[in-house]
Every structure is written in C-alpha cells, then in structure tokens.
C-alpha cells in the first residue's frame, strides 16, 4: 500500500495535500521471496523514470499509473477526474499480450527487479487523440509523439512501489522531493524558485535565475536528467557545467543544485504545467517559465507555455509562475537584456540556438563569452572533443 506522508512543513503543501511515498525496501518493507512467483513486466528508461517520480511523490497526488477515468479527464480537461490540476497522463503502456495482467506485477529494468504495480485495470490508449491534445500534433517526427506511437496499445493502471531510488549517475545531487524539502527548511528559506532546463547552462539562463533570486530566499537549480532526444547534450555534461558555474558565480547558501529525474516529453505548454506542479511537490514557491518552455522545433508558439497557466487559478496551482521573455546579449547595450529593456533590433543581438551551439562544439570552435561563461564553455568543448 502506498503511504501518504502528512506534512507539517511551512513550505507549500504538496499537490493534493500529502506527499506520496511509495518507496519500499527489500527485507524491511517486504520479503523478496514473496516476489518469486509473481508475473514480471520489463520496462524501459522512460517508464522507470515515471516509476521513480510516482513513488517518491514528485507526481503527487498520483500514487500510480493513471486509470482510464483520469487518463480521459487529463487529456480533455487538464485535470484528474476529481478536478485536481494535471496536464499529462502518466501511463504504463503495454502490448496486447500483457493487457490481461491483474494484481501485483513486478517491474524489471535490464534484468533487475525495480518495483511493482498493483494492476487494477487495463484500457485502450487513444494515441491519436492523446497526440493531438497533449502534443498538439500527430506528426510522428515530433519526439514525444514518436515515443507515444512506439508504445504498446494498452495501458495498465494501479498504485506502484519502487524498491530503491536510483541515484547512481548523480549521487551528490539526486534528491527526492522529501529530501529537497528538508534542505530548504534546514536553510531557512521561506520562499524558493525552481529553474528547469534540459540544455547546457548559458548566460541567459543565469540572468533569469539571478533576477528571480532577487525576489526569493533560495534558488533550486533542477536540470532534467531523464531520457532526452539523441542530439541533446548528455545529462552528465550538463550537470558538470552547473557544478563549475556554481563554484564561482552563485551564492552557495542560497543555491541548491539537485537533479530532476523525469524523462523529457517535449510537450511544450502541457509539460510546462507538469514541471510546475511537480516542483510544488519539491517545496518551491515559484517556478520560472521562459520562452518555448519544454518545446521542440516549431510546434508551439513562443509563449504558449506561459499562457496555458490561465487554465487554473493561482490557488489551484499553489506555485507562482514567473514568466520571462526571451533574453539575449545585446552588443549595443553591452549586457543581457530582453525585448522589454532593449531598444535595438535583432542585428545587435547575439543569439545562438541549441543547434548552432552543437555545431560550434563539434567543429571545435569557442563559444562567445557573452553567450556562456568560459568555465562552462570548456566543459562543453571537452565533452565534444571526447566524442570526436
């Protein structure tokens, strides 16, 4: 049974009021011998990430993979069936051969048992509809839609358990929501802002973070380290870039680097909501949403991810959204600016897309100091040199 931990914290309450705890330790919470005769289901990296997010409470109030009522309601209304704000259905997709599973099923990843799901129902996935509503496209070249189409045609639903939080890649920075809350409280932060990115840190990111830090007590740097598309910069490189930046440019007592283990869906506006709500569960009061948050290609409008939050009241969200316009370095202003503060046209601006940055790195070229700190540029240059 999934445990719901009551919170007496002065921090924002988790979504639904309690922080889900579905982590179960072998030999302490259950006898591993009891699992021997149970059916097993092999899962991939994306489902393993969802399992961790569910079991650690990052996706509170969800206690497991959603049932059909919640699945349909989230897609159609951006809410769970009980009316709670939610934007992307968290599902356990399977093929037809596994659609008949019921009861406790052990989940295995790369040959190792990692958790279980108590299957209560199975239902057919409405993939085309889900693609249109969640991703705003049925284009199979969209990475999120491609992943959706590649999944099984049925979803299993039920509460989950995770045997161990997988901290292997980033043991220093891998914290559950409860652990992040403990750090925030220990530091005495009564307000904190979270920043999400799947890209290497650059000066525009730094600008947004520090402007936000002027408004609150603490900054949670929360880079996503789950599955991303193949041409994104690897998580290990991105985390290393944050580490070198924090050493010289951020106030240590007011900054916390902690990884966000979710898989990237590239769902743009819908994913911005998911990112904000889950960060509430980590204990922050504010969340930054910038230009084309969680977007890819040209599928979403520049500020669609900001506008979608009007679907909820501030009380429902429980986290304040800090909306920033596109930020860049202006050669004529001699500093980082946005369209709100810069009077010059684009010919004066230094703007490098992620694609352009990767091209420069592959070619062994230096990144401009106005775009990124030299220490970060060296981390990126070394990582791409190793791949050459």
Choosing from 24, 175, 198, 291, which is the catalytic residue? Answer: 198
223 and 121 in a single domain? The answer is: no
Residue 358 has pLDDT above 80, yes or no: no
* Rounded CA separation 204/96 (Å): 47
Q: Is 199 a catalytic residue?
A: yes
Last residue of a domain, one of 130, 162, 194: 162
- Residue 126 pLDDT class (50, 70, 90 cuts): very high
Residue 92 has pLDDT above 80, yes or no: yes
Percent of the chain with pLDDT over 70: 97
CATH number at residue 51: 3.10.400.10
188 and 149 in a single domain? The answer is: no
Query: What integer pLDDT is reported at residue 357 of this predicted model?
Result: 81
Give a yes or no: residue 168 inside a domain: no
CATH number at residue 224: 3.40.50.620
Query: What integer pLDDT is reported at residue 4 of this predicted model?
Result: 52
Last residue of a domain, one of 162, 188, 209: 162
Q: How buried is residue 355: exposed, middle or buried, by Cβ count under 10 Å (0-12/13-18/19+)?
A: exposed
Residue 5 has pLDDT above 70, yes or no: no
Residue 388 has pLDDT above 70, yes or no: no
Among the ranges given (100-104, 262-266, 298-302, 365-369), the one the predictor scored with the smallest mean pLDDT = 365-369
Q: Is 155 a catalytic residue?
A: no
- Residue 9 pLDDT class (50, 70, 90 cuts): low
Give a yes or no: residue 256 inside a domain: yes
Element at 272 (helix H, strand E): helix 269-281
Give a yes or no: residue 267 inside a domain: yes
* Rounded CA separation 198/184 (Å): 23
* Rounded CA separation 375/331 (Å): 21
> If you average pLDDT over residues 313-319, what whole number do you get?
97
187 and 332 in a single domain? The answer is: yes
Give a yes or no: residue 167 inside a domain: no
Question: Can you list the pairs that 1-8 forms with residues at least 24 positions away whose Cβ atoms lie under 8 Å?
Answer: 1/159, 2/55, 2/63, 2/64, 2/159, 2/160, 2/161, 4/63, 5/57, 5/178, 7/181
- Identify which of 46-60, 224-238, 366-380 has the greatest average pLDDT: 46-60
Element at 238 (helix H, strand E): helix 235-249
- Residue 314 pLDDT class (50, 70, 90 cuts): very high
Domain count, the chain: 2
Entry field: residues in the chain: 388
Residue 81 has pLDDT above 50, yes or no: yes
273 and 215 in a single domain? The answer is: yes
Choosing from 104, 187, 199, 381, which is the catalytic residue? Answer: 199
The Cα-based distances of 71 to 11, 63, 77, 157, 161 in angstroms read: 30, 14, 10, 10, 20
> Do the beta carbons of residue 60 and residue 319 sit within 8 Å?
no
Give a yes or no: residue 125 inside a domain: yes
> If you average pLDDT over residues 307-317, what whole number do you get?
98
219 and 121 in a single domain? The answer is: no
> Do the beta carbons of residue 92 and residue 26 sit within 8 Å?
no
The DSSP code for 132 is I
- Residue 365 pLDDT class (50, 70, 90 cuts): confident
* Rounded CA separation 300/321 (Å): 19
Q: Which domain, by its residues, includes 84?
A: 3-162
Query: What integer pLDDT is reported at residue 7 of this predicted model?
Result: 46
């Amino acid at each position: 049974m999934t445990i719901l931990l009551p919170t007496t914290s002065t921090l924002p309450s988790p979504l639904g009021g309690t922080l889900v705890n579905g982590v179960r330790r072998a030999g302490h919470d259950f006898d591993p011998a009891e699992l021997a005769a149970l059916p097993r289901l092999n899962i991939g990296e994306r489902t393993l990430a969802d399992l961790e997010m569910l079991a650690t409470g990052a996706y509170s109030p969800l206690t497991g993979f959603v049932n059909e009522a919640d699945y349909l309601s989230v897609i159609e209304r951006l809410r769970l069936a009980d009316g709670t704000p939610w934007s992307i259905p968290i599902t356990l997709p399977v093929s037809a051969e596994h659609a008949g599973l019921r009861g406790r099923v052990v989940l295995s990843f790369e040959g190792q048992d990692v958790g279980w799901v108590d299957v209560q129902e199975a239902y057919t996935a409405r993939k085309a509809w889900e693609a249109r509503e969640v991703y705003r496209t049925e284009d199979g070249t969209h990475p999120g839609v491609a992943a959706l189409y590649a999944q099984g045609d049925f979803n299993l639903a039920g509460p989950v358990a995770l045997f161990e939080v997988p901290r292997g890649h980033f043991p220093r920075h891998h914290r559950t929501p409860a652990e992040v809350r403990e750090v925030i409280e220990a530091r005495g932060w009564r307000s904190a802002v979270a920043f999400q990115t799947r890209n290497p840190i650059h000066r525009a990111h730094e600008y947004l973070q520090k402007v936000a830090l002027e408004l609150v007590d603490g900054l949670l740097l929360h880079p996503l380290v789950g599955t991303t598309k193949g041409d994104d910069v690897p998580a290990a490189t991105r985390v290393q870039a944050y580490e070198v930046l924090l050493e010289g440019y951020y106030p240590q007592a007011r900054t916390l680097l902690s990884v966000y283990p979710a898989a990237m869906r590239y769902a743009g506006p819908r994913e911005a909501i998911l990112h904000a709500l889950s960060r509430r569960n980590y204990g922050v009061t504010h969340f930054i949403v910038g230009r084309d948050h969680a977007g890819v290609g040209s599928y979403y409008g520049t500020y669609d991810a900001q506008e979608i939050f009007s679907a909820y009241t501030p009380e429902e969200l429980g986290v304040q959204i800090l909306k920033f316009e596109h930020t860049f370095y202006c050669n004529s202003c001699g500093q980082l600016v946005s369209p709100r503060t810069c009077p010059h046209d684009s010919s004066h601006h230094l703007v490098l897309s992620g694609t352009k940055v990767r091209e420069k790195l592959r070619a062994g070229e230096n990144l401009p100091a106005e775009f990124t700190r030299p220490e970060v540029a060296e981390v990126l240059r070394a990582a791409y040199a190793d791949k050459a």
